[in-house]
Structure 1
Amino acid sequence: MERIMIIIPAYNEEESIAKLLPSLNFPPQDIIVVDDGSTDNTISKSQSFGVHVIRHEKNKGKGMAHRTGFNFASKEEARWVITMDADGQHSPKDIPKFIKAIKEKKGDMIIGEREVTIRTMPFLRFLTNLWTSFIVSILGGKRVKDAQSGFRAISKEIFTSISFSTNNFQTESEIIIKAARRGFRITSVPVRTIYNESYSYIKPFLDTLRFIKLAFQSL
């Protein structure tokens, strides 16, 4: 089996990371936690589980955390990475779906597709997801129903060849657009839709402006 590593960006997630890591059922040497300048005990909690922990001295954004993880995974000769959030909104129970899709060579990027409805998502998230997925699909020339899902499996061919221009949440859109334009196969697997009470680091206005900038740059 080709080596698969899990990348988890984390910013002030000491409580949730302590719950997530032991539930992954994945070899510690194949888990990468990228601490994005946390001011709590995220680092020590992560280190206690024997996983790889990479620290940003200051907060650089989720996209930069992913990029740091990609670079480390490449040096570790990982063939695939699975990216997931540290806040508990991605269920470890869905990881086997990605592994199955990888084994069956379903695509070069496999997106965890949630149920995107008003019933399952906060209203603002629903609207944002709807229009960003629409724009990403147009710009990439490939229909993607859940472009905002950060739960993904990404092949080495993609994460080592894409030249990124973004550092924050919009990096997740950028990689889809650029991979689709280069002819990589993008598919999806169904995953659970989970929204909890934890604080969100998404800044609706600022992140929307950043996405609009990305969209114009991609024209």
Structure 2
Amino acid sequence: MNDNIFVVIPTLNPNIQIFEAFLDNLLKETKNILVINDGCRKEYNDFFKKIEKKGIIVLHHYINLGKGRAMKDAFNYLLNTYPKLKGVVTADSDGQHSIKDIKKVASEIERHPNSLILGCRNFDSKNVPTRNKFGNKITRRVFKLFIGLSITDTQTGLRGYPKDVMVKFIDTLGERFEYETNMLIETINKNVPIYEVDIETIYISGNSESHFNPIKDSISIYKLFLKYIFASISSFVVDILFFSLFWILFKFNYNILLATICARVISSLYNYMVNAKLVFKKENKTSFIKYVLLVIIQMFVSGLTVEYLATLISINPTLIKIVVDLVIFVVNFIIQRELIFIGEKS
């Protein structure tokens, strides 16, 4: 391995036998190893002293602060301490990553110095625990739908971060497992390509050593998607309420179209601010202009469609508008994701 690439390993109460054997094998390939003790129990103190004597750098958290914080602290330490640093490979302490695959990811850092390198497992393998297989499939589909990224392994801990990529992601939100997910999301906004590397699929004792909490950590990981759902539903409610109000107030021809325009102006301003500040976290003059154009187009499509259908069907226009806008909702999100709030794609 390159002398200017470090292997970073966050750990919390690991299986000492597995972890020590892994570190001993890794030391045969590189001396550049940094372990983060993320609040391990006191009985691990002797173990950490032992590996420090072998030349491994150990950073200590007094209490468990989370994998995200451990990675940020490691990035910060290495960036400050090693000016010739080329990048880092992150690995887990539970024996899931082979030395061969760590070296493979490290070599890609040199070939792709501006990319985030992902070591991707084969989830069709028979030895993959059901919860991991199910979790990855769900997250892959959510990423494709909401973010527009096709990623083979969204939960991999074996990743390569060239120095420039480390700098871009060191301030990314997230203190625990969600930090790695947030980095994937930000690859688009920060114009960081993703490069995938096939790695061996290893699970020891059904992945019992993992500290991933399927419920708690999944909620953190899916927080962005929950924010978008909140923004969309609340904007939809605002739009329908104001449409109903203006439709009652405007008792003349084309009142449906006018009510649609007035309601959409109000709900769109609300929706833009929520999406820009809370969901996509991208707000600038260009995105606002694109958003206004999208609103104008969708406003007339919605208004004219509801106006036309109201002449054909004897149903309250508010009910017709709900159905029409539900269809527009899907198209609206895809356009916002692809063209408005997201930067140049990797």
Alignment partner, residue 26 of structure 1: 29
Cα deviation, residue 118, structure 1: 6.0
Instruction: Verify: 1:177 aligned to 2:218, yes or no.
Output: no
* Gap change, CA 1:108 and 1:2, over 3 Å in 2: farther
Which has the larger displacement, 104-113 or 197-206?
A: 104-113
Q: SS where residue 86 of structure 1 aligns?
A: coil
> Higher Cα Rg: structure 1 or 2?
2
Cα deviation, residue 132, structure 1: 1.4
Instruction: Verify: 1:206 aligned to 2:216, yes or no.
Output: yes
Using the size of structure 1 for normalisation, the TM-score is 0.90
* Gap change, CA 1:172 and 1:178, over 3 Å in 2: same
Residues 141 and 180 in structure 1, CA contact (< 8 A), matched pair in contact too: no
Q: SS where residue 34 of structure 1 aligns?
A: strand
Within the candidate set 61, 66, 69, 1:56 is matched to 61
Cα deviation, residue 69, structure 1: 1.1
Match for 2:106: what amino acid? I
Within the candidate set 111, 135, 156, 2:163 is matched to 156
User: Structure 2: how far apart are the matches of 1:99 and 1:158?
Assistant: 14
Alignment partner, residue 9 of structure 2: 8
User: Structure 2: how far apart are the matches of 1:73 and 1:134?
Assistant: 35
Within the candidate set 67, 71, 94, 2:72 is matched to 67
User: Structure 1: how far apart are the matches of 2:132 and 2:89?
Assistant: 23
Kindly, what percent of the aligned residue pairs are identical?
Answer: 28
Residues 111 and 186 in structure 1, CA contact (< 8 A), matched pair in contact too: yes
1:62-96 Cα deviation digits (max 9, x unpaired): 11111111111211232211000011011112123
Instruction: Verify: 1:191 aligned to 2:192, yes or no.
Output: no
Alignment partner, residue 325 of structure 2: none
> Alpha carbon RMSD of aligned pairs, Å?
2.0
Residues 89 and 196 in structure 1, CA contact (< 8 A), matched pair in contact too: yes
Residues 91 and 102 in structure 2, CA contact (< 8 A), matched pair in contact too: no
Residues 111 and 151 in structure 1, CA contact (< 8 A), matched pair in contact too: yes
Q: SS where residue 131 of structure 1 aligns?
A: helix
Using the size of structure 2 for normalisation, the TM-score is 0.59
Match for 2:22: what amino acid? L
Residues 180 and 186 in structure 1, CA contact (< 8 A), matched pair in contact too: no
Match for 1:166: what amino acid? G
Cα deviation, residue 10, structure 1: 1.0
Q: SS where residue 215 of structure 2 aligns?
A: helix
**Structure showing the higher strand proportion among its residues:** 1
Residues 96 and 204 in structure 2, CA contact (< 8 A), matched pair in contact too: yes
Determine which structure has greater relative contact order: mean sequence separation of CA pairs < 8 Å that are 6+ residues apart, divided by chain length.
Answer: 1
Aligned length: 218
* Gap change, CA 1:26 and 1:74, over 3 Å in 2: farther
For structure 1, the 5+ residue unaligned runs are: none
Residues 21 and 49 in structure 1, CA contact (< 8 A), matched pair in contact too: no
Q: SS where residue 168 of structure 1 aligns?
A: coil
Cα deviation, residue 159, structure 1: 1.5
Match for 2:71: what amino acid? H
Q: SS where residue 85 of structure 1 aligns?
A: coil
Query: What does 1:142-153 correspond to in 2, within 5 Å?
Result: 142-153=149-160
Residues 10 and 70 in structure 2, CA contact (< 8 A), matched pair in contact too: yes
1:90-137 Cα deviation digits (max 9, x unpaired): 111212312332333375111001001262311111111111123234
For structure 2, the 5+ residue unaligned runs are: 228-277, 281-346
Query: What does 1:100-119 correspond to in 2, within 5 Å?
Result: 100-105=107-112, 108-117=115-124, 119=126
Q: SS where residue 55 of structure 1 aligns?
A: strand
1:160-186 Cα deviation digits (max 9, x unpaired): 122222111111111111123221111
* Gap change, CA 1:73 and 1:140, over 3 Å in 2: farther
